[in-house]
Structure 1
Amino acid sequence: MMYIMRYTYSGESVFLSCLVKCSGRYKPDSEFRWKLPNYREINPTELHQLDQGRFHVFDISSGNLSLLISDLTEEDEGLYSCWSNENQHKSFRLTFKGCTLSETEREPKTKYTGDSVLLSCSCEDPNTKPEDFRWTHVESSGTEVSNESPRYKDRVHTFHKTTPSNLSLLISNLSEDDQGTYRCTVNNKASADTRLLVKGETVVLKSTQSLNELSMFLSVFLESLCRPAGCVLSEHHVTKSSYAGESVILPCSCEDPKTKPEHFEWKRAAVNETLVSDAEEINGRFQMIRDSPHNLFLRI
């Protein structure tokens, strides 16, 4: 049996043309019909009532039995044929262009606690619109990675609503518990894995300077305290070391990302000296970084 191939994507519409020469003895509603996938057979009148009006037949009285299907899903895939009496006029094979995942990075991604990470996952064809996809954390028994999961609540962001073929995942405020293998699965079929390594943020001092210069450097090493009001601080076990003239960022954040502390201050603990607070900025070298209200990072 010969048929015409039609390739399409989920969410689109497809037009299947079928024109039949009519005579007065034909009774369109009973003589004309479409055979659909899964052995369904239906006449034009019934088609209007099928799947909430997604199927539309044109001017039956003039022999135009063309079929328009809108808002396509992968369940619509298959063979369609237009019939009058026992004569088959046209057949169409409707095939969906699925999501073939682009190749992901083979090397693990390495990040530090408090960082953000972008896990890439996308369809090779930018016109593809996968009906279903999900991210899971393999080592934690396939825990779903979404804002609905308590473990990742308010820490993840996806991009498919604006770009359907882009299934990438952004995770913010990483902890060492986030380490592991992340799996992007499309339509319960194709999948791609990305390995994430999360390290505690410890920077080891390296110096080629003389002992006197090193001693001077150590005298400006900061053991700082962040003291915001109205939030419970996340644990940050961090040792930061750097060279004179360089910059450093010290992390500090509230456990609840919805917290918006009004009052805060950073102090140099050894001498109880305020570096910066909500009330004043002591020195231009000390700057607050608040990319989110609950983050109170300090840049020196």
Structure 2
Amino acid sequence: MFLCVYLLYCLLQENSGCTVDQGLQGSITKSVGESVVLSCSCENLEDKSYTVQWGYTETITHDTYNVQLLVFPEDHKQNQRYRGRVHILNQNPGNVSLIISHLTVEDSGTYLCGVKGKFSSAVSLHVRGPSRTVSNPVINWTIICIVLLLLLLLLGCAAYCCHSAPCERCFSDFCLFMSVV
């Protein structure tokens, strides 16, 4: 009799509380520094939200949700890179979506939502880094040298014009400048 009561208690305990949606819920792309809301919802919410957990993994293989880092709750098991940047969105009962602020490129990966260490819902996140303009320093210096040579050639031609012909034919201000130089 005691064994039957215990098994019934275990069965009810396992099925009570929050039941999380299963499978990949989507993919989100954000930029460094932004915030993101990763959706997860509970059905049959009876336990408090502290039973909900969020984890991180770089990739999922064959619908196997193995957590590499614990993201939420904020306790001694939580990975340090998430400290102070995550919280649960408690706008309505059953919504256990995770908010991550101040995103970094390292936050890219798959986030897993679950209850009591059993993760069944996944959201993929890609964080774009700052855009980098690649410039070729050889091309930049080549352009600068060509512009300087053209300016010197123009200046030389103008000086030749002013010294070989009367100043009436040249710009008088330029000739005045050239006579000082």
The amino acid of 1:123's aligned partner reads C
> Is the 1:102–1:121 Cα contact (8 Å) retained in structure 2?
yes
Write the deviation string for residues 16-71 of structure 1: whole angstroms up to 9, x where unpaired: xxxxxxxxxxxxxxxxxx968228xxxxxxxxxxxxxxxxxxxxxxxxxxxxxxxx
- Displacement of 1:182 in angstroms is 0.6
Q: Distance in 1 between matches of 2:95 and 2:41?
A: 5
Q: Distance in 1 between matches of 2:56 and 2:70?
A: 6
Compare CA radii of gyration and give the structure with the larger one. 2
Write the deviation string for residues 249-300 of structure 1: whole angstroms up to 9, x where unpaired: xxxxxxxxxxxxxxxxxxxxxxxxxxxxxxxxxxxxxxxxxxxxxxxxxxxx
Q: Whose helix proportion is higher, 1 or 2?
A: 2
Q: Distance in 1 between matches of 2:125 and 2:14?
A: 36
Q: Does 1:149 align with 2:117?
A: no
Q: Distance in 1 between matches of 2:13 and 2:105?
A: 47
Higher relative CO (Cα under 8 Å, sequence separation at least 6) belongs to: 2
Q: Distance in 2 between matches of 1:120 and 1:196?
A: 11
Q: Secondary structure at the match of 1:195?
A: strand
Q: Does 1:37 align with 2:5?
A: yes
Identity of matched residues, %: 33
Report the aligned-residue RMSD.
Answer: 3.6
Are residues 145 and 183 of structure 1, via their aligned partners in 2, closer, same or farther at CA, if it must alter by over 3 Å? same
Note the 1:209-248 alignment, pairs <5 A: none
Q: Does 1:198 align with 2:127?
A: yes
Where does residue 158 of structure 1 map in the other structure? 88
TM-score by length of 2: 0.52
Q: Secondary structure at the match of 1:154?
A: coil
Where does residue 109 of structure 1 map in the other structure? 28
172, 175, 190: which is aligned to 2:104? 175
> Is the 1:110–1:198 Cα contact (8 Å) retained in structure 2?
yes
- Displacement of 1:188 in angstroms is 2.8
TM-score by length of 1: 0.33
Structure 2 residue runs without a partner (length 5+): 60-66, 134-181
Q: Distance in 1 between matches of 2:13 and 2:123?
A: 34
Q: Does 1:188 align with 2:117?
A: yes
Structure 1 residue runs without a partner (length 5+): 1-33, 40-74, 79-92, 205-300
